[in-house]
Amino acid sequence: MKQNRCPLRDPASSQPCIITPTGLLQDSALLVFLDYPSGVGVAHGWDSISRPYKVTSAQGNIIHSLDWRPAFEVYQEILANHGGQHITPDNFFSIAKAYPFGITRLDAEMVVRDPLSTQNQHITCAGEVPTGAFVRVLHGNQHTLIQAAQRAHAMAHEAWCESQSRPYELQFVVDCISRALFLEQDFRQELAVIHSPGPMLGALTIGEIANSGQDYLEFYNKTAVVGFF
């Protein structure tokens, strides 16, 4: 049986994509610092469907075990108990895109981690999951995700208005590609609720790096980030 591969990340397809004066670079990052005031909002819309599980073994973005049991075995049980979902290595991404992990944080919204694939009972995610962290399995639907994007927009606009008396000049949106894959045609609705009058630009990404000015800089998955500048 042909394995259902994740369309987001395939190591074999990695290639140079950063344009520089000396040519294209691979496995690199471009950092740009702008001395402009801003207002930022971050929200995801995924809700917990499980109790917290301790990550008892992990390496980088690969979860080996949860509560001292193989990670995929635990994940299968949780999804089976939620709507009878039967997830296997062959159909992994088509089902897992609706069931991300959430890393628990004190007095803050959970940080989402996108499960991409499974092998040898391990689960590979789009971002690091530390050993010792507590995670929950999350689930959402079109309504909760679009509602969260609207909330991110409202947070960003409120932050701008609290710090600036002048109108914003640009709206910048960074949204996760897996949200677009999950929402499909309804992704147009998500864009509609975060669009304000004036120019808006942005990108669909594999992971979003942001903070609202009230917390640490964080790497997110499956999250909508809205900024006013």
Which CATH number covers residue 147? 3.30.1330
3-state SS assignment for residue 95: helix
* 90, 195: one domain: no
Q: Which of 139, 170, 199 is the last residue of a domain?
A: 139
Please give the pLDDT value at position 185. Answer: 93
Please give the pLDDT value at position 1. Answer: 42
Please give the pLDDT value at position 216. Answer: 72
Q: What are phi and psi of 44, to 5 degrees?
A: -125, -40
Amino acid identity, residue 81? Answer: N
Strands 224-228, 39-43: pairing is antiparallel
What number of other Cβ atoms are within 10 A of residue 84's Cβ?
7
* 61, 73: one domain: yes
Please give the pLDDT value at position 11. Answer: 43
Q: CB pairs under 8 A, 24+ apart, for 61-70?
A: 61/113, 61/124, 61/125, 61/126, 61/127, 61/128, 61/129, 62/122, 62/123, 62/124, 62/125, 63/101, 63/122, 63/123, 63/124, 63/125, 63/129, 63/135, 64/122, 66/135, 70/121, 70/122
Q: Is 8 inside a domain boundary? A: no
pLDDT tens, per residue, the chain with 229 residues = 444 555 555 444 568 888 888 889 988 888 888 888 889 999 999 999 999 999 999 999 999 999 999 999 999 999 999 988 899 999 998 999 999 999 987 766 789 999 999 999 999 999 899 999 999 999 999 999 999 999 999 999 999 999 888 999 999 999 999 899 899 999 999 999 999 888 999 999 888 888 766 667 788 889 999 999 9
* 41, 149: one domain: yes
Please give the pLDDT value at position 110. Answer: 85
Number of domains in the chain: 2
Q: Is 156 inside a domain boundary? A: yes
Question: Which residues are 118's β-sheet partners?
Answer: 123
Q: Which of 139, 169, 186 is the last residue of a domain?
A: 139
Only one residue has tokens 């049986």, namely 1
Q: Is 32 inside a domain boundary? A: no
Dist. CA 187–CA 190, nearest whole Å: 5
Tell me the residue range of the domain where 117 lies.
51-139
